[in-house]
Amino acid sequence: MSNFRQYSAYYDLLYAKKDYGAEADYVARVLRGANSTVRTVLELGSGTGRHGRLLANLALEVHGVERSAEMAMHAARRTARSGNEGLFSCEVGDLRAFRADRHFDAVISLFHVISYQTTDDDLRAAFQTAAAHLGTDGLFLFDVWHGPAVLAQRPEPRTKEVTDARRRVRRSATPILDAESGTVRVAYEMDCEDFEAGDRVRFGEEHLMRYLFPTEIDRLAREAGFDIVHSEEFLTGAAPSAATWGVAYLARKLDQPR
């Protein structure tokens, strides 16, 4: 997987101002609002472990699965320094095929990881992985690129530059929307400088994203034995609209698939 191979070293700096604390609070609140006894969580696409470690601080036991070995390596290093080793762990794995010999109270997949599953088969496999690790009434919380908003707003080229005491990163993103396949191909150009080492590196990556509509989510959920409990704008809780780029869905595992 080429996505996040070089990108991973700069990922946390790029998202240093992202309010992971508020997002972890939101996830814990949504899960516990649906089931006050939630304790164990499987995170599909755990990245560098920032959500997982914060959820561990909220007394949840989180096991992450991350396809990028580089991202998982950064997660393991940061977790070893954080003191959360007992409550957050992660391993390298493909969420479409991952299987653990246990059930969890909930499965989560955050920061549009489900939208990285760009084919119908990939999406079905992701939902089946979630279902395989939940018992009856288990919860699956995930967020996606909301189709109505993507088509209404249309992704535009953007540039982001961030700096800390050691490094500077400039990222340019050029998106290409393909309405026929329901995807957006984002070409990233990275210009990264390490002040301490005196190094500068430039590289590019392409990330293909799938935007999804509520009818597609309903179908995928039913096929995997879930019932969609609720959908809302991620973090704010507002009703989804054509202005809502990221929508969170909460699904509940049924006793018998419909």
**CA–CA distance, 232 with 53 (Å, rounded to integer):** 24
Q: Beta-carbon neighbour count of residue 161 at 10 Å?
A: 11
- Regarding pTM above 0.75, the answer is yes
How big is the chain by its Cα radius of gyration, in Å? 18
Please give the backbone phi and psi of residue 193, each rounded to the nearest 5 degrees, phi first.
-130, 130
Q: Which residues pair with 202 in a beta bridge?
A: 191
Question: Going from the N-terminus, what domains does the chain have, and what CATH number goes with each?
Answer: 8-145+213-253 (3.40.50.150), 150-210 (2.20.25)
Q: Give yes or no for residue 1 having a pLDDT over 70.
A: no
Arithmetic mean of pLDDT, 118-132: 98
Displacement of CA 165 from its chain's centroid (Å):
28
Let me know: does 137 contact 31? Beta carbons within 8 Å. Answer: no
Q: What pLDDT sits at residue 202? A: 95
Arithmetic mean of pLDDT, 45-71: 95
Q: What does pLDDT average to over the chain?
A: 94
* Helix 69-82 / helix 50-57 crossing angle, nearest 10 deg: 30
Arithmetic mean of pLDDT, 36-64: 96
Q: Which residues contact 227 (CB under 8 A, 6 or more apart)?
A: 221, 251, 252, 254, 258
Q: Give yes or no for residue 133 having a pLDDT over 60.
A: yes
Q: What pLDDT sits at residue 143? A: 98
Banded model confidence at residue 60, pLDDT cuts 50, 70, 90: very high
pLDDT in tens, 65-93: 999 999 999 998 888 887 665 699 999 99
Instruction: Judge residue 160's burial from the number of C-beta atoms within 10 Å of its C-beta, 0-12 exposed, 13-18 middle, 19 or more buried.
Output: exposed
Answer with the residue of higher pLDDT: 256 or 231: 231
Q: What pLDDT sits at residue 248? A: 98
Structure tokens that stand for 41 in this block? 């969580």
- Percent of residues, the chain, with pLDDT higher than 90: 87
